[in-house]
Amino acid sequence: MRIKFAITGLAAMLLAAGAVQAQDFKPRLVRFGYGLVEDSNQGRAVRMFAKEVEKATGGKMKVRAIGNASLGSDTQMQQALIGGAQEMMVGSTATLVGLAPEMAVWDTPFLFANTKEADAVLDGPVGEKVKATLEPKGMVGLVYWENGFRNLTNNKRPIAKLEDLQDVKLRVMQNNVFLDSFKALGANAVPLPFSELFTALETKAVDGQENPFNTVLSSKFYEVQKYLTVSNHVYSPWIVTVSKKWWDTLSPAEKKVLQDAAIKSREFERKDTREEAAKALAEIKTKGMQVNELPSAEAGRMRDKLAAVNAGIAKSVGQGTWDSVQAAVKQARAK
């Protein structure tokens, strides 16, 4: 009798535990879109995130990683998230500026001197505050990922001084800070979605572009670009976002799984990106690109030219946010 009772009790307990789990995790499909190719730092991190979520939900929540901008450019995917037609994406904060103006603060040229500063500021209170501005717009920001410091490539000439940017038809992200920055530097800046960039370079519709080493490699820009100039002119991050419409249908346990997996993916992604970037320059050279470093005096001249752009960013993100970011950078730099 006793044993039977114990067994029934155990069975009841197991059933109850199962019921809790079934309630916490509904079968769900997460379409997670991104713009780069599958074999890229972006693709690897999305797949890592997918595995984490599936493991944590016992396979209840399935994450389908959809790369190559197959679900659309960054801005198209953002609209799909807002409308609830797509659950998740990762893309540049720069492409969110039209919706969430404060994101423009991350496009400030020469804002961070190194990744330590970037991590501290983005993961700190002001990074959180800027991320939170997405919610009223219909998206929930989970974490920032590293895209990397951006460098110039083009087919006209090595950029050894400010004047070398003159008349270079340079593709920029679809964002006024990038447009204004490169116009101020004398380039002929042309905004284009990333998904159209390779073709634009190949057909010579534009002469050049700017992106981190990792992307120059993964997107094979070396096939259509001759010169690479190490300029590190801006660190403009990626951000992982969720459809707010969909987020609101999730249980607290499901939200926690996504948040925890996002943090794990951030650590994985930054490490992976940095390891790849450290080896990238040598590989870019073997692919035949001619590489030069932008002399620091010339970077300084560029900074001077960008004073008015910086003032414009401060105005559009609000002086409070601008000052908080500057203070956070200063604090990180002092550490």
Q: Which of 211, 232, 265, 324 binds ligand TF8 (CB under 6 A)?
A: 211
Q: Does position 92 bind ligand TF8 by CB under 6 A?
A: yes
| Distance, CA of 210 to CA of 99 (rounded, Å) | 23
CB of 228 to ligand TF8, least distance (A): 15
Q: Does residue number 91 form part of the binding site for ligand TF8 (CB under 6 A)?
A: yes
Write each residue from 180 to 199 as x if it is in contact with ligand TF8 (CB under 6 A), else as -, in one continuous string.
Answer: --------------x-----
Amino acid at the residue 182: F
Tokens of 150: 């951006």
With DSSP H G I counted as helix, E B as strand and the rest as coil, what are the percentages for the chain, rounded to 5? 55, 15, 25
Of 74, 146, 276, 298, the one binding ligand TF8 (CB under 6 A) is 74
CA separation (Å) from 287 to 43, 208, 229? 22, 17, 15
The answer to whether 288 and 224 have CB atoms below 8 angstroms apart is: no
Which span sits near ligand TF8 by CB under 6 A: 19-27, 77-85, 89-97, 127-135? 89-97
Q: Position of tokens 């996504």?
A: 258
CB of 193 to ligand TF8, least distance (A): 7
Q: 215, 231, 243, 321: which one contacts ligand TF8 (CB under 6 A)?
A: 215
Tokens of 115: 């990744």
> In sequence order, what DSSP letters do the residues of 319-333 get, joined into one string?
HHHHHHHHHHHHHHH
- When the beta carbons of 57 and 95 are compared against ligand TF8, the nearer one is 95
Compose the 226-265 pattern: x for residues touching ligand TF8 by CB under 6 A, - for all others.
------------x---------------------------
| Angle formed by the axes of helices 296-305 and 307-317, nearest 10° | 50
Q: Which residue is nearest to ligand TF8 (CB)?
A: 35
Question: CA 89, CA 139: separation in Å to the nearest integer?
Answer: 10
Considering beta carbons, is residue 96 or 294 the nearer one to ligand TF8?
96
Tokens of 293: 């470093």
Which whole-number Å values give the CA distances from 21 to 18, 24, 300, in the listed order? 5, 5, 57
x/- string (CB under 6 A) for ligand TF8, residues 276-295? --------------------
Residues that contact ligand TF8, how many (by CB under 6 A): 13
Report, in Å, the least distance between residue 154 CB and ligand TF8: 14
Q: How far is the CB of 199 from ligand TF8 (least distance, A)?
A: 14
CA pseudo-torsion sign 322, 328, 329, 331: positive
- Asked if residue 122 lies in contact with residue 331, where contact means CB atoms within 8 angstroms, the answer is no
**Minimum CB–partner distance for residue 144 and ligand TF8 (Å):** 13
7-36 residues near ligand TF8, rule: CB under 6 A: 34-36
Which chain residues interact with ligand TF8 by CB under 6 A? 34-36, 74, 91-92, 95, 147, 173, 194, 211, 215, 238
